[in-house]
């Protein structure tokens, strides 16, 4: 039985130990995924996929999708802030908020909403005495 340090608490434990008897860390020697099926050790298909670069592309796609979702959520939150400013009847604040909304849609790469809010910004800023 070989001994290796636990990745969590660094105490020497058997390579067969799971979880660590000292700190309770699951898989205390690393994060490789091995499945035993009918006495045969099978490496998860992900290992091959990672070696082929599929994981990186998958992660990049997920990150890109999540960033787009977050950018649109920020834009929608900014619209809500604009509505609050508009109800407050402070024309300068409304102008500023309209600019923030258009910038948020620009960041989200949403051209249709960006153009709509640039027009709104122009109107609101003119009403505040700040022609564009």
Q: What mean pLDDT do residues 123-127 have?
A: 91
Per-residue pLDDT tens for 27-71? 777 754 444 454 444 444 555 555 556 667 777 888 888 888 888
Domain ranges, residue 91 = 65-127
Cβ(3)–Cβ(13) below 8 Å: yes
Q: Count up the domains in the chain and report the number.
A: 1
Average pLDDT score over the chain: 79
Q: Is residue 113 part of a domain?
A: yes
Q: Is residue 32 packed enough to be buried (19+ CB in 10 Å), middle (13-18) or exposed (0-12)?
A: exposed
Q: Is residue 83 part of a domain?
A: yes
pLDDT at 122: 93
Q: Is residue 52 part of a domain?
A: no
Q: Is residue 10 part of a domain?
A: no
Q: Is residue 78 part of a domain?
A: yes
Q: What mean pLDDT do residues 107-119 have?
A: 90
User: What is the Cα–Cα distance from 6 to 9, expressed in whole angstroms?
Assistant: 6
């Amino acid at each position: 039985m070989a001994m290796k340090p636990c990745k969590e608490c660094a105490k020497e434990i058997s390579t067969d130990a799971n979880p660590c008897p000292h700190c309770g860390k699951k898989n205390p020697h690393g994060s490789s995924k091995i499945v035993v099926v009918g006495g045969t050790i099978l490496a998860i298909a992900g290992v091959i996929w990672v070696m082929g670069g599929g994981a990186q592309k998958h992660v990049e796609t997920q990150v890109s999708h999540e960033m787009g979702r977050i950018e649109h959520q920020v834009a929608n939150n900014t619209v809500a802030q604009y509505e609050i400013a508009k109800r407050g009847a402070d024309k300068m604040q409304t102008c500023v908020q309209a600019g923030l909304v258009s910038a948020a849609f620009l960041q989200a790469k949403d051209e249709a909403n960006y153009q709509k809010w640039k027009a709104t910004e122009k109107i609101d800023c003119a009403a505040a005495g700040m022609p564009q």
